[in-house]
């Protein structure tokens, strides 16, 4: 199993902890109501993969396909729209009486989402992206009305550019990662992701998952998914498995060392939207107390996931996932098929009674 590293973690968070104040039931309901008010809102599909579950000897597998979200090919609009509206004191995503430029750094999807939401509140947007980004990602951001600039060799360099310009030119920074002194906007973005969980549970007929596999770049998505589950106070939480690319496994390395670790240099991975060198400080504080396992995977794992999802088993629907969206499916497939993974299956408790929830966070890059 050379392409996968797994680190077991002890869940230690008290469900009544004040650290979960950001994830109350009222917040979840407010977020969902906000997204429902946006023109074009529809629930994204939740696919039940019965054939694959039977093949892998699991109780059920469901995957939320975020490629359909607001026509933007990823889940990121949920966080960006909620944060931008609340930053301007808006109850809906609507034109505000403002003359500002929103600035962010991105590996692709977040920048596109910020540009899309900025247009809808009447703001301009300036997006920094690492050097050498796929031209298709840049074109998709520009198509939403943004100015795009290169910002160094990695995501962290791009963030530094965004911070510098926002301060120098009095722009508004809408970043999806937190650090000391910058927590409010990232928390709003994280809360915006609650909608995915609320929809998935409703669509499944409230069949509660035993396991949730979720991707991590800086960790804000994972924190949002975990926070959403903790917001259902009357329920026991699933086991959360946090999944990253080996070329940018900042959360995995932080868990391994017991503190925030920065991965320097250019991050070599196909999973561009998970290519981050340092975790969000607030997300990390939650993940280290709530994850059952941290996993880093090679690119072959996500390519396997794309194949498994696009070439379905039996009568399962096909799910067309992107390279950052399919890694959890690839990991689950390998864990259940590879004889060398029996130890990991055992400590995660994966078996015929397991109900697994996955998120395909993006569609293919077109």
Active-site residue set: 76, 107
Q: Would you say 41 and 33 are in contact if contact means Cβ atoms under 8 Å apart?
A: no
DSSP 44: P
Q: CA separation (Å) from 149 to 128, 132, 178, 282, 365?
A: 5, 11, 22, 27, 20
Count of other CB atoms within 10 angstroms of residue 146: 26
CA pseudo-torsion sign 319, 325, 331, 334: positive
- In terms of phi and psi (left: phi > 0; alpha: psi -120 to 50; beta: otherwise), the region of 201 is alpha
DSSP 198: H
**Other CB atoms closer than 10 Å to residue 36's CB: what's the count?**
11
Beta-carbon contacts of 278 under 8 Å, excluding residues fewer than 6 positions away, are: 156, 177, 218, 250, 260, 261, 262, 263
Distance CA(32)–CA(35), nearest Å, equals: 5
What is the token pair recorded at 108?
A: 């692709």
Q: What residues are paired with 291 via a beta bridge?
A: 240
Q: What's the maximum distance between 2 C-alpha atoms anywhere in the chain?
A: 60
Q: How far is Cα 253 from Cα 29, in angstroms, rounded to an integer? A: 34
Alpha carbon 16 to chain centroid, angstroms: 24
């Amino acid at each position: 199993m050379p392409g996968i590293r797994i680190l077991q973690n002890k869940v230690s968070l008290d469900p009544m902890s004040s650290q979960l104040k950001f994830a109350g039931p009222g917040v979840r309901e407010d977020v969902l109501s906000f997204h429902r008010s946006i023109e074009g809102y529809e629930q994204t599909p939740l696919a039940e993969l019965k054939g694959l579950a039977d093949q892998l000897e699991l109780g059920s597998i469901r995957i939320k396909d975020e490629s359909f979200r607001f026509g933007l090919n990823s889940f990121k609009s949920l966080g960006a729209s909620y944060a931008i509206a609340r930053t301007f004191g808006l109850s809906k995503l609507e034109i505000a009486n403002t003359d500002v430029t929103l600035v962010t750094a991105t590996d692709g999807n977040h920048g596109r989402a910020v540009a899309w939401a900025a247009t809808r509140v009447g703001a301009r947007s300036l997006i920094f992206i690492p050097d050498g980004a796929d031209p298709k990602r840049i074109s998709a951001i520009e198509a939403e009305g943004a100015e795009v600039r290169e910002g160094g060799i990695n995501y962290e360099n791009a963030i530094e550019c965004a911070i510098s310009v926002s301060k120098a030119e009095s722009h508004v920074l809408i970043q999806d990662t937190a650090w000391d002194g910058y927590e409010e906007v990232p928390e709003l973005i994280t809360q915006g992701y609650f909608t995915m969980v609320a929809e998935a549970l409703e669509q499944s007929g409230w069949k509660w998952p035993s396991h949730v596999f979720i991707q991590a770049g800086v960790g804000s998505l994972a924190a949002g998914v975990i926070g959403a589950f903790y917001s259902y106070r009357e329920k026991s939480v699933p086991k959360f498995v946090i999944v990253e690319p080996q070329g940018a496994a900042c959360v995995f390395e932080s868990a391994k060392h017991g503190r925030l670790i920065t991965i320097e240099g250019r991050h070599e991975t196909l999973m561009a939207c998970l290519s981050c060198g340092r975790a969000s400080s607030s997300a990390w504080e939650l993940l280290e107390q709530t994850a059952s396992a941290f996993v880093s995977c090679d690119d072959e794992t996500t390519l396997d996931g794309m194949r498994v999802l696009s070439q379905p088993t039996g009568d399962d629907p096909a799910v067309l996932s992107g390279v950052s969206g399919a890694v959890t499916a690839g990991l689950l497939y390998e864990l259940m098929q590879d004889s060398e993974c029996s130890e990991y299956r055992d400590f995660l408790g994966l078996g015929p009674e397991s109900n697994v929830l996955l998120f395909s966070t993006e569609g293919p890059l077109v």
